[in-house]
Amino acid sequence: MSALPLDAAANTDLDAGRPGRPGRPGRRLPYFLRRPGGVFGATWLAFVVLASLTAPWWVPYGVAEQDLSNRLALPSADHWLGTDPLGRDLLSRIFSAGAEPLLAAGITVLVAFGIGLTMALIAAERGPRVERVSSRLAEVLLALPSTILLLAVIGAIGVRIFIVMAVLGVMISAGVYRVMLGVAKSVRQRLYVDAARVNGLSSLRVNLVHVLPSMGTVVAVQAAQLYGIGLLIVAGLAFLGFGPAEPQPSWGFMIQDASSYVFSNPWLLVPTGVVLALTVVAANELADAIASRGSVARTTVRRRRSPARVGATGSADPRPADPGAVLDVRDLHISVDDGPALVTGVSFALQPGRVLGLVGESGCGKTMTARSLMGLLPDGVSVSGGSIRWQGRELVGVSEKDLSAVRGRDIAMISQEPMVALDPMFSVAYQLTQPIRRFRGVGRGEARQIAAQLLRQVGIVDGERVLKSYPHQLSGGMAQRVCIALALTGEPRLLIADEPTTALDVTVQAEILSLLRALVRDTGLSVVIVSHDLGVVADICDDVAVMYAGTVVEDGTAAAVLDEPAHPYTQALLAANPHVADGEPVPTRLASIDGTVPPPGEWPTGCRFASRCLFAQEQCTQRFPSVPAHGSGSVLCTRVEELSRADVTWMSAPTTGPAGHETAPATAQPAPTVGVSR
């Protein structure tokens, strides 16, 4: 009973809650039957069980029927699998013997799960007090020597295999309880369980309807594995002589019998051995196939980074190259290999010492764009066109080795979840000094001094204490400071920050933003910050690029874009923000945008915002808008000049008022979403 299948199953089970999964698995063909191992396991088990249970009606010979002229025969037309030393038909004996071990192993599984699973569900529901008692009981059971106990039971009650295997089930239930308790506890933390409890469901129904089905995968994996073990134990007992008395056949005894002829008549061992081995393997294959849920897709997309077709799409960007920029991104295209494009035609330039904000809703490609700058796109996603120039040097298409010379040294990254970015196994000092020594080639003592200095630089007062601590001992804000210090170890010129404050409280967020601002001011660092929060962007960014459905729809200086938004989408985002300016009344309704961001692969040929835009006209849906310069940047909207001349904005548009407008048409079709968001 290894922990591995459990982990795999538990993880994939959690994944099942994500969007993008087409329908409910199991409605057509159960998912585990789409793998060869699963097909084999299920087919063989079904065959053996059926053949064994129906054996009395179809086997050609009786189990004790001897054909003395044909002793120890090889397979023939009369005896398909040959005969044993007494001339009895092996095929008949194998399948006549099958029912008992198959049923007995089933009893073990039933008893083990009947006790272990029930106890686990009760302990998970009733909390630590009950859990303490039941876990002690399980430990006692686990401490018993099960082999000796089984033999003692046989000694006391004789070879009554079903009872013996039930006793084994009781002993194994402790292990089942252990595994199931962890799963049950994690399922109980899901909110739908709480919601059902608030609705007043009885605890039995909560467990049966909401907790158990979510544990199904793990239960199936463990049961199939345990079944294989049970089979081996029944056979083992019979091998030792604790099986049905002769002439009643048993797999274990037949193997024992054959083992004495292993040199003179090796074939005798083959049929029984193969059937037993195949049955055990089938049970385990089935367990593997059940556990593999969801991992199929993951294994197929794992591919090597393919070199991008540089400039394949032809540069559509009219703007001249910016000589002063440290980072110059031109017509960047990112797509799923052999799949839809995720980002198309993104261009921006970043001056030294400036902060650029990539802003937009989830699923608009801002994180993909940021990750591509470091060559850290997920497996199966790659840059499919355009260029990323870092201080005049092309980064698209260069080898992983050349890229790693830039990554961490020139360009560093901080992520949304500081606690995930730090390794819980190592102290802060270790995690900081390792990269310092690698990047700066200094000794251990000096590295530690630099680490302490970096922590001071990110505003940590008691640096020595923090150096000694482990990630779990830090608060979220402190952990993000450590992450920033970690990013600074290579003395980068560009910092990429992917939603660096989203997981933090507002007061902590304000401190982290102040810290980033001070770093930019003091060190001349350039920053690309990804955020969905327009307030954060207003606070820290000099330049802004608003992204929608894989393109930049509006860019320019932060003041220009946020104070006088020109693109309808930018206007709509600002209007949807409930934070009103000081002294202004709170609106009774928020302006919202119909529907949701179209997923990659479903983008229209015209303006991608057209279907949600209040100002869309026929021309908008026909062709992709060009990029006219507007103010300090550019706006991807064919009607921008017209709208700004007429002084029409999203906030002033009359159609945002009516109650039905936001809700009804937007959601009339619950469209499947693609799992690119967040």
Partner 1 sequence: MTAPAGAAAASSVLPAPALEVRDLVVRYGRGRKARSSPPAVDRVSFEIAPGETLGLVGESGSGKSTIGKAVLGLQPPSAGTVRVHGQDITGMSLRERSRRVADLRVVFQDPYSSLNPTRTIGQTLVEPLRLMGVTGAEALQRARSGLESVGLPGDAVDRYPTQFSGGQRQRIAIARALVCDPKVIVLDEPVSALDLSTQAQVLNLLADLRDQRGLSLLFIAHDLGVVRFLSQRTVVLYRGQVMESGPAEAVGLTPRHPYTLALTAAAPVPRPGEQAARRNAREAAGFGAASTASPGATGCPFVPRCPLSTDVCVEQRPPLRLIDQSSTACHHAERVPSL
Q: Per CB under 8 A, which of residues 11..30 are in contact with partner 1?
A: 16-21, 23-24
Q: Contacts with partner 1 in 449-468 (CB under 8 A)?
A: 459
Binding part of the chain for partner 1, among 173-181, 329-337, 450-458, 662-670 by CB under 8 A, reads 662-670
Q: Using H for helix, E for strand and C for coil, what is the string for 380-419? A: CEEEEEEEEEECCEECCCCCHHHHHHHECCCEEEECCCHH
Choice from 256, 315, 427, 673 touching partner 1 (CB under 8 A): 673
Minimum Å distance from CB 502 to partner 1?
10
Q: In angstroms, what is the minimal distance from the CB of 590 to partner 1?
A: 4
* Choice between 248 and 673, CB closer to partner 1: 673
Quick one: which segment of 72-80, 145-153, 219-227, 471-479 binds partner 1 (CB under 8 A)? 471-479
Nearer to partner 1, 244 or 595 (CB): 595
316-344 in b/e burial notation, b at 16+ Cβ within 10 A? ebeeeeeeebbbbbbbbbbbbeeeebbbb
Alpha helices in 292-325 (DSSP H): 295-301
User: Which residue, 376 or 590, has its beta carbon nearer to partner 1?
Assistant: 590
The residue within the footprint of partner 1, chosen from 510, 523, 621, 644 (CB under 8 A), is 510
Picking from 611, 607, 605, the residue whose alpha carbon sits closest to that of residue 637 is: 607
Q: Mask 361-400, x = binds partner 1 (CB under 8 A)?
A: xx--------------------------------------
Rounded to whole angstroms, the Cα distance separating 520 from 506 reads 21
Site for partner 1 in 199-238 (CB under 8 A): 199-202, 209-210, 213-214
User: What is the C-alpha separation between 296 and 441, in angstroms, rounded?
Assistant: 43
- 419 near partner 1 (CB under 8 A): no
Kindly state the smallest distance separating residue 476's Cβ from partner 1, in Å: 8
346 vs 636: CA distance, rounded Å: 11
Q: Which is nearer to partner 1, 88 or 210 (CB)?
A: 210
> Pattern 244-283, binding to partner 1, x per CB under 8 A?
----------------------------------------
Q: What are phi and psi of 89, to 5 degrees?
A: -70, 125
42: nearest Cα among 293, 290, 297: 290
Which residue, 60 or 672, is less far from partner 1 as judged by CB?
672
The rounded radius of gyration (Å) of the Cα atoms in the chain is 34
Nearer to partner 1, 513 or 635 (CB): 513
Orientation angle between helical segments 128-143 and 90-126, nearest 10 degrees: 150
**Closer residue to partner 1 in complex, CB, 17/266:** 17
Nearer to partner 1 among residue 23 and residue 324 (C-beta): 23
| Per CB under 8 A, 655 contacts partner 1 | no
Q: Which residue has the tokens 């538990």?
A: 10
Longest dimension (CA), the chain: 108
Does the protein bind partner 1 through residue 563 (CB under 8 A)?
yes
List the one residue from 4, 133, 195, 240 that touches partner 1 (CB under 8 A). Answer: 195
CB atoms within 10 A of CB 314: 9
Q: Which of residues 475-494 bind partner 1 (CB under 8 A)?
A: 475-478
* 8-state DSSP, 307: P
Q: Which of 69, 299, 507, 605 binds partner 1 (CB under 8 A)?
A: 507
- What one-character DSSP code corresponds to residue 83? B
146, 532, 621, 653: which one binds partner 1 (CB under 8 A): 532
Answer whether 566's CB lies under 8 Å from 554's CB.
yes
Tell me how far, at minimum, the Cβ of 541 lies from partner 1, in Å: 8
Instruction: Choose among 97, 93, 96: nearest CA to 81.
Output: 93
Q: How far is the CB of 340 from partner 1 (least distance, A)?
A: 18
Q: Would you say 18 or 393 has its CB closer to partner 1?
A: 18
**Total residues binding partner 1 (CB under 8 A):** 86
By rule CB under 8 A, what string of x and - marks binding of each residue 30-59 to partner 1? ------------------------------
- CB–CB of 359/353 below 8 Å? no
Question: Quick one: 275 or 616, whose CB is closer to partner 1?
Answer: 616
Binding pattern for the stretch 571-610 against partner 1, x by CB under 8 A and - elsewhere: -xxx-xxxxxxxx--xxxxxxxx--xx-------------
Cα 370 to Cα 347: distance, rounded to the nearest angstrom: 12
Residue type, 103: L
Residue with Cβ nearer partner 1 (245 or 668): 668
Contacts of 401 (CB under 8 A, 6+ apart): none
Contact 84, 93 (CB under 8 A): yes
Contact call for residue 158 and partner 1 (CB under 8 A): no
Nearest-approach distance from CB 332 to partner 1, in angstroms: 23
CB 408 within 8 A of CB 399: no
If binding is defined by CB under 8 A, does position 652 make contact with partner 1?
no
Q: How far is CA 354 from the centre of its chain?
A: 35
Candidate ranges 167-175, 280-288, 533-541, 627-635; the one touching partner 1 (CB under 8 A)? 533-541
Q: Least Å distance between CB 312 and partner 1? A: 32
Hey, which residues does 83 pair with through a beta bridge?
Answer: 89
Sheet containing 327-336: which strands, arranged edge to edge? 341-350, 327-336, 381-390, 393-394
Nearer to partner 1, 154 or 573 (CB): 573
Site for partner 1 in 121-150 (CB under 8 A): none
Could you tell me the sign of the dihedral formed by the alpha carbons of 261, 267, 271, 277, in that order?
A: positive
514 binds partner 1 (CB under 8 A): yes
Least Å distance between CB 18 and partner 1?
Answer: 7
Residue whose structure tokens are 């980002």: 343
Nearer to partner 1 (CB atom), residue 39 or residue 508: 508
Residue of 604, 584, 607, 594 lying closest to 664 (CA atoms): 594
Q: What is the rounded end-to-end Cα distance, in angstroms, of the chain?
A: 35
Q: Which stretch binds partner 1 (CB under 8 A): 95-103, 392-400, 407-415, 570-578?
A: 570-578
Which one among 196, 316, 442, 648 touches partner 1, defined by CB under 8 A? 196
Nearer to partner 1, 374 or 545 (CB): 545
**Cβ distance to partner 1 smaller for residue 298 or 678:** 678
Sequential DSSP letters for 199-230: TT--HHHIIIIIIHHHHHHHHHHHHHHHHHHH
Tell me which stretch binds partner 1 (CB under 8 A): 106-114, 490-498, 526-534, 613-621: 526-534
Q: Using alpha carbons only, what angle is made at residue 201 by residues 195 and 203, rounded to the nearest 5 degrees?
A: 105
- The least CB distance from residue 271 to partner 1, in Å, is 43
State yes or no: residue 190 binds partner 1 (CB under 8 A).
Answer: yes
Q: Which is nearer to partner 1, 109 or 597 (CB)?
A: 597
Question: How many helices (H) and strands (E) in the chain?
Answer: 27, 12
Query: Distance between CA 41 and CA 285 in Å, rounded?
Result: 5
Residues 540-559 that bind partner 1 (CB under 8 A): 558-559
Q: State the nearest-atom distance from the C-beta of 580 to partner 1, in Å.
A: 7
